[in-house]
Amino acid sequence: MAKKVAVIMGSDSDLSVMQGAVDKLKEFGIPFVVRVISAHRTPAAAEQFASSAVEEGFGVIIAGAGKAAHLGGVLAAYTTLPVIGVPIQTSMMGGLDSLLSMVQMPSGIPVATVAVNGAANAAILAAQILAVNDSALAEKLRVFKAEMAEGVARKDASLQAQFQ
Ligand code: RP5
């Protein structure tokens, strides 16, 4: 059975950003669940979710959090699954706080951190991880990249025409 992706966020206030991951997972036809679990407000739930994620059929965990953004690291501490962190932009420090909290993991517990608010890229990376053992998904990713390249070529042609 196809592995699922977990889209976990520290608060429902992260949803507008994390929707970008949900949309991309839908585009690739990847099964997913969406949860609010906080490293600080519900640490027992974070432990429970991550500890059972392999047996629950997940292949990758995406963790979005802002400010003191320890969610990805805490989940990664309790699972052997790859964890992709999405630092959420904050009003006070623009998301640099979230980024550094997430990316500066101690040796041994990696969190593959994408750009601030980079939820779509987190989903694409999750798809690429799952595609290692899923040739149909790998083909969807190949088409996705080819269409992206065609889009850039169209823009290039348009700009060249505009400035000739
Ligand atoms: C983090 O604190 C969440 O991931 C969110 O980005 C931030 C603020 O949470 P709320 O106070 O809006 O619930 O844990």
What is the pLDDT, as a whole number, of residue 135? Answer: 97
- CATH code of the domain covering residue 66: 3.40.50.1970
C-alpha 7/C-alpha 24 separation (Å) is: 12
Tell whether 46 and 124 lie within a shared domain. Answer: yes
Per-residue model confidence as pLDDT tens for the chain (164 residues): 889 999 999 999 999 999 999 999 999 999 999 999 999 999 999 999 999 999 999 999 999 999 999 999 999 999 999 999 999 999 999 999 999 999 999 999 999 999 999 999 999 999 999 999 999 999 999 999 999 999 999 999 999 999 99
What is the pLDDT, as a whole number, of residue 31? Answer: 98
The residue nearest atom 9 of ligand 1, judged by CA position, is 11
Tell whether 164 and 91 lie within a shared domain. Answer: no
Which range of residues forms the domain containing residue 61? 4-133
155: number of Cβ within 10 Å: 10
Q: What's the gap in Å between 136 CA and the centre of ligand 1?
A: 36
What is the pLDDT, as a whole number, of residue 157? Answer: 98
For the chain, the residue count is: 164
Question: If you write DSSP's letter for every residue of 83-132 in order, what string do you get?
Answer: EEEEEEP-TTTTTHHHHHHHH-PPTT---EE-STT-HHHHHHHHHHHHHT
Tell whether 30 and 110 lie within a shared domain. Answer: yes
Tell whether 88 and 101 lie within a shared domain. Answer: yes
Side-chain half-sphere of 19: how many Cα atoms within 13 Å?
Answer: 5
Tell whether 93 and 72 lie within a shared domain. Answer: yes
Tell whether 146 and 128 lie within a shared domain. Answer: no
Q: Choose the residue to mutate in 8, 9, 11 for probing ligand 1, maximizing ligand atoms within 8 Å of C-beta.
A: 11
Side-chain half-sphere of 83: how many Cα atoms within 13 Å?
Answer: 31
The residue nearest atom 5 of ligand 1, judged by CA position, is 66
